[in-house]
């Protein structure tokens, strides 16, 4: 992909599908688990779609840039990075933020709609603040491991 090309998975609103599980985790205190699990399905589908799309493009390039090995390495990179940076780490982070907030609300004896919605609101508000630090951390991990040895 050239510098001038727009990456539909990273530079368009499609990217927000990767954050679906964080929204699900933020709403976990007030919705049924099945809906939270469905948001993970959306996020993982986004990851798998990006992985397969970009891997196919890489595979179709002429050798030595393209081919099976190159596509397999790229697939692993995208899949690992996206699963860690878009699904696993942020999902866990928002889950713990909401859990901790729910405990704090309970200890504070806040009742009614404010008590019910506070963990969800704090979780939603936290999402923009956790994205870039998590992305940078996963970049560091990937650069120090997978990318160091396979690229």
> Is 61 among the domain residues?
yes
> Is 131 among the domain residues?
yes
For residue 50, the enclosing domain spans: 13-149
How do residues 42-51 score in pLDDT, each as one tens digit? 999 999 999 9
> Is 5 among the domain residues?
no
How do residues 59-92 score in pLDDT, each as one tens digit? 999 988 999 999 999 999 999 999 999 999 999 9
Number of domains the chain is built from:
1
What CA–CA distance (Å, rounded) separates 44 from 21?
A: 9
| Predicted TM-score (pTM) of this structure | 0.90
> Is 2 among the domain residues?
no
- What tokens does 55 get? 């891997």
């Amino acid at each position: 992909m050239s510098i001038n090309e727009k990456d539909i998975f990273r530079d368009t609103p499609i990217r927000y599908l990767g954050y679906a599980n964080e929204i699900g985790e933020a709403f976990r205190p007030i919705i049924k688990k099945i809906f939270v699990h469905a948001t993970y399905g959306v996020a993982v589908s986004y990851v798998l779609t990006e992985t397969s799309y970009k891997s196919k493009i890489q595979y179709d390039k002429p050798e030595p840039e393209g081919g099976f090995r190159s596509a397999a390495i790229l697939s692993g990179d995208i899949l690992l990075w996206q699963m860690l940076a878009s699904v696993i780490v942020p999902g866990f982070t928002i889950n713990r933020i909401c859990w901790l907030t729910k405990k704090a609300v309970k200890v504070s004896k806040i009742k009614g709609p404010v008590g019910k919605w506070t963990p969800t609101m704090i979780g939603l508000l936290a999402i923009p603040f956790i994205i870039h630090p998590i992305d940078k951390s996963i970049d560091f991990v990937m650069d120090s491991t997978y990318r160091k040895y396979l690229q």
